[in-house]
Copies of this chain bind each other. A is one copy, B any other.
Amino acid sequence: MADDSLFEFLHMEIVSHVYKEQESRGDNDKERGTCVSLLECMGFRVGQGLIERFTKDSPGFKDELDVMKFLCKDFWTNIFRKQIDNLRTNHQGTYVLQDNRFALITQLSSGQQYLEDAPKYLAFSCGLLRGALSNLGLESVVTAEVSLMPACKFQVVIQKA
């Protein structure tokens, strides 16, 4: 299944539903954090499920960097139909993945007021990455920021045991 826009529309619906609930509870900034974490958790579980399918026939990974490269290429392409444009690392467990045209925010306008809205459209995808990594044995913290719409940077910090 199938069409590009299906995932985009469905994602929009989820984000809007989660935030509408929050509003209907008359909530404040603290609760806004709950929305982000709820979306992130959904992404996490979807990421776990997807990576299992995507790596079913793959031979395993050499090292951490090898895993990250797989996420940037195969994983990202399977979900967003394009690769991550740039991967950087400090070789100490921190990785920055840049997508110059991130599908889930291309629909937003680039005005300042929309830029402030952008984080809620990133939480699910942070979860996707964290869930995928977790299933490959790497616990991580994933955050994201919009640099210049629709470019987007995901920062992954691997948690050493």
**A interface residue numbers (CB < 8 A to B):** 1-11, 13-14, 17-18, 21, 38, 42, 45-46, 49-50, 53-54, 77-81, 103
Contact = CB atoms under 8 A, between A and B. Distances in A.
A81 B10 contact: no
B7 A10 contact: yes
B42 A3 contact: no
Contact of A46 (B2, B10, B46, B77): B10
A11 to B, nearest CB: 7
A103 B42 contact: no
Contacts of A79: 1-3, 6
A78 B46 contact: no
A130 to B, nearest CB: 15
B77 A2 contact: yes
A6 B78 CA distance: 9
A42 B12 CA distance: 10
B1 A7 contact: yes
B80 A1 contact: yes
A115 to B, nearest CB: 23
A48 B54 CA distance: 31
22 contacts: A1-B4, A1-B7, A1-B79, A1-B80, A1-B103, A2-B77, A2-B78, A3-B78, A6-B46, A6-B79, A7-B10, A9-B45, A9-B50, A10-B14, A10-B42, A13-B14, A13-B42, A13-B45, A13-B46, A14-B17, A17-B18, A21-B21
